[in-house]
Structure 1
Amino acid sequence: MSTAPDKTQKLGRVVLWIALALLVAAPFIGLYPVFMMKALCYAIFACAFNLLLGYTGLLSFGHAAYLGAAAYTTGYLVRSVGLSPELGIIAGTLIAALCGLVIGLIAIRRQGIYFAMVTLAMAQMIYFVFLQAPFTGGEDGLQGVPRGNLFGLFSLANDTVLYYVVLAVFVAVFLFIIRIVHSPYGQVLKAIRENEPRAVSLGYDVDRYKLLAFVLSTAIAGLAGSLKTLVLGFATLNDAHWSISGEVILMTLLGGLGTFAGPVIGAFTIIGLQDFLSDRVGSWINVIIGVIFVVCVVAFRKGMVGELQAWRQRKRAG
């Protein structure tokens, strides 16, 4: 006879398959491909952040720096150097990972608020470099980034073709993170999150595990930034601004910290609200998002997916 956890897992798989089917059918049911691609890029970004905070317990206030570093790298190489889009994406991801390695070596030995402040300070330094560097276009950003041809075969100028490329990358990242979390390495990350001194006493090199998690998170965040540049055709200073680091925290908390689907739901919710309300309320959208953040922290501390899981557990216990 099936146990309650088995039923929950089966239900979760069914929901994921339904969500995937909706994403595959999105261009044919009237959903704007560019909006969906932008939301998927931010979903990848939120999943990357969740890997760091939700499963490792490290709060970074500067994750936008890696999104922006990859966005500028891909935009410059594709537009000015003439690289193909796949090579531009790989280069952007590697640059983000390299930035994460350098900053991680500096920050990883700090804990709590000190770790968060170091990541924020380093991210602001990177933002200043982007502002002053000649190849970034300064406040104007990199405009007119061509999408090119994927592997020289598929033209990404077609929104539908590019949408399915972005969707394929998103699914690959989602499955990759699930595999990491369920691996022995992921179990060690959870142990570090729950009780770092105990993990040290068991003989684990905690700093090495945290550094690898940090680099993986920054690389995936860079992948999101590279894809976003190809989708929108530009990279700007806003990609590396500290407010984007705040938004990804909100996306993760709103959807559910430490859950697989939570960051995705949170990203689609925030991007959807911004897209729907920006023309209607103007700059007040920031106030609305701030109110949502406060309500989430006060009333829904586990996020939408986390609260649903807690409700199901209470129901089974009752």
Structure 2
Amino acid sequence: MNAVTSNSSSVYQAGAAAQAATSQGVARTQRAAFIIMVAILVAAPLLGVYPVFMMKVMCFALFACAFNLMLGYVGLLSFGHAMFFGGAAYVSAHAAKVWGLTPELAILLGTLSAGVLGWVVGLLAIRRQGIYFAMITLALAQMIFFFSLQAPFTGGEDGIQGVPRGKLFGLIDLSNPTAMYIFVAVIFLAGFLFIRRVVYSPFGQVLQAIRENEPRAISLGYDADKFKHIAFVISAALAGLAGSTKALVFQLASLTDVHWSMSGEVVLMTLLGGLGTIFGPVIGATVIVTMQNYLAELGAWVTVIQGAIFVVCVLLFRRGIIGELGALLKKSL
């Protein structure tokens, strides 16, 4: 009996040691990838890359990472995430231009508004799954779109233009491109690290358990709807943070930000980069924004090219760019 107990204990310890070694290996790999990403962000302006382009990439990368938290780690496909991204952009733009709030307060207000909207939408949608959840979020997003079109303070089809960047904490003038670039980079990196922390926390592990087998998670005593609702609010708030930041970068909040096509773009970014990976949405957003920027002269053909790339990705790279790269290197990215 003692021998059996001793053997079981040895097997458990060996399994725990192997799991710990794997976790440390994943942490080292992701730490190296993060350092490379930071180095690219630092070097890009020095190498002549247009700062506004890089800031746009960072805003959309944060948006895609927020969306990936829902789809990649909870398994909920939202067709309405543009309502949080664009809604927060309108709130921040209005707060900065009309109310004269400083940029950090305008962004904070936009992020909070997106979180509150996410809480309300989550109450209505989170109890549904699959196509029903997706359609509810799409319908509610269209309501926000028409509200943004008709409301007197949103500027209608013209949007809110000429949004002042202002002075950060009343001291740092964000009209300086370098200061604005550093500010956006700090927001993006902080949001990225926060998402990673959520994913690898006990809370994130429960989310993944719900994604894999919700009935079993419920049988273990977890309130699945509560966990999904919290994740939805976090995702909405981070999407709002991205939208608020973008409004200050481009000094504009427009209907494009709340249009259903924006929700479609973030789905494409996530799937292209790698669903359920940490760095996948960043790569996917970079690819899509780069195409939009450098192929803009092709007009409507950009959409056709994006569609073709999406089809190729689905057929040949089902795990996305980072997913396939991670599988090739046998590393978790």
Identify the residue that residue 172 of structure 2 maps to in structure 1. Answer: 154
Identify the residue that residue 37 of structure 1 maps to in structure 2. Answer: 55
1:240 aligns with 2:226: no
Q: Report sequence identity in percent.
A: 61
Which segment drifts farther, 167-176 or 305-314?
305-314
Q: What's the CA shift for 1:5?
A: 7.3
User: Where in structure 2 are the equivalents of 1:77-88 lying within 5 Å?
Assistant: 77-88=95-106
Deviations 1:204-231 (A, max 9, x none): 0110000000000000000000000000
3-state DSSP of counterpart to 2:142: helix
In structure 2, the gaps of 5 or more residues are 1-17
For residues 269 and 172 of structure 1, what CA distance do their matches in structure 2 show?
Answer: 22
Identify the residue that residue 241 of structure 2 maps to in structure 1. Answer: 223
Instruction: Tell me which structure has the larger Cα radius of gyration.
Output: 2
**Structural RMSD (CA):** 1.5
Identify the residue that residue 285 of structure 2 maps to in structure 1. Answer: 267
Identify the residue that residue 295 of structure 1 maps to in structure 2. Answer: 312
Which segment drifts farther, 17-26 or 50-59?
17-26
Work out the number of aligned pairs and report it.
312
For residues 102 and 19 of structure 1, what CA distance do their matches in structure 2 show?
Answer: 35
1:285 maps to a residue whose letter is: V
3-state DSSP of counterpart to 2:266: helix
For residues 36 and 266 of structure 2, what CA distance do their matches in structure 1 show?
Answer: 25
The TM-score normalised by the length of structure 1 is: 0.95
For residues 31 and 48 of structure 2, what CA distance do their matches in structure 1 show?
Answer: 26
1:170 aligns with 2:216: no
For residues 33 and 297 of structure 1, what CA distance do their matches in structure 2 show?
Answer: 32
Identify the residue that residue 205 of structure 2 maps to in structure 1. Answer: 187
For residues 39 and 311 of structure 1, what CA distance do their matches in structure 2 show?
Answer: 26
Identify the residue that residue 309 of structure 1 maps to in structure 2. Answer: 326
1:150 maps to a residue whose letter is: L
For residues 98 and 215 of structure 1, what CA distance do their matches in structure 2 show?
Answer: 8
In structure 1, the gaps of 5 or more residues are none
For residues 129 and 8 of structure 1, what CA distance do their matches in structure 2 show?
Answer: 45
Deviations 1:73-122 (A, max 9, x none): 00011001111111100110011111111110000010111001000000
For residues 57 and 307 of structure 2, what CA distance do their matches in structure 1 show?
Answer: 19
1:283 maps to a residue whose letter is: A
Q: 1:49 aligns with which of 64, 67, 84?
A: 67
2:124 maps to a residue whose letter is: I
Deviations 1:144-201 (A, max 9, x none): 0000000000000011111111101111111111111111101100000000000111
For residues 147 and 27 of structure 2, what CA distance do their matches in structure 1 show?
Answer: 46
For residues 111 and 220 of structure 1, what CA distance do their matches in structure 2 show?
Answer: 22
2:279 maps to a residue whose letter is: A
For residues 186 and 280 of structure 2, what CA distance do their matches in structure 1 show?
Answer: 19
Which segment drifts farther, 201-210 or 292-301?
292-301
1:162 maps to a residue whose letter is: M
1:99 aligns with 2:92: no
Deviations 1:217-252 (A, max 9, x none): 000000000000000010100000000100000100
The TM-score normalised by the length of structure 2 is: 0.91
Identify the residue that residue 13 of structure 2 maps to in structure 1. Answer: none
Q: What's the CA shift for 1:15?
A: 2.7
User: Where in structure 2 are the equivalents of 1:70-81 lying within 5 Å?
Assistant: 70-81=88-99
1:142 aligns with 2:160: yes
For residues 270 and 60 of structure 1, what CA distance do their matches in structure 2 show?
Answer: 19
1:222 maps to a residue whose letter is: G
For residues 99 and 209 of structure 2, what CA distance do their matches in structure 1 show?
Answer: 45
For residues 29 and 103 of structure 1, what CA distance do their matches in structure 2 show?
Answer: 43
Which segment drifts farther, 77-86 or 12-21?
12-21
1:274 maps to a residue whose letter is: Q
3-state DSSP of counterpart to 1:55: coil
3-state DSSP of counterpart to 2:105: helix
1:260 maps to a residue whose letter is: I
Q: 1:208 aligns with which of 221, 226, 232?
A: 226
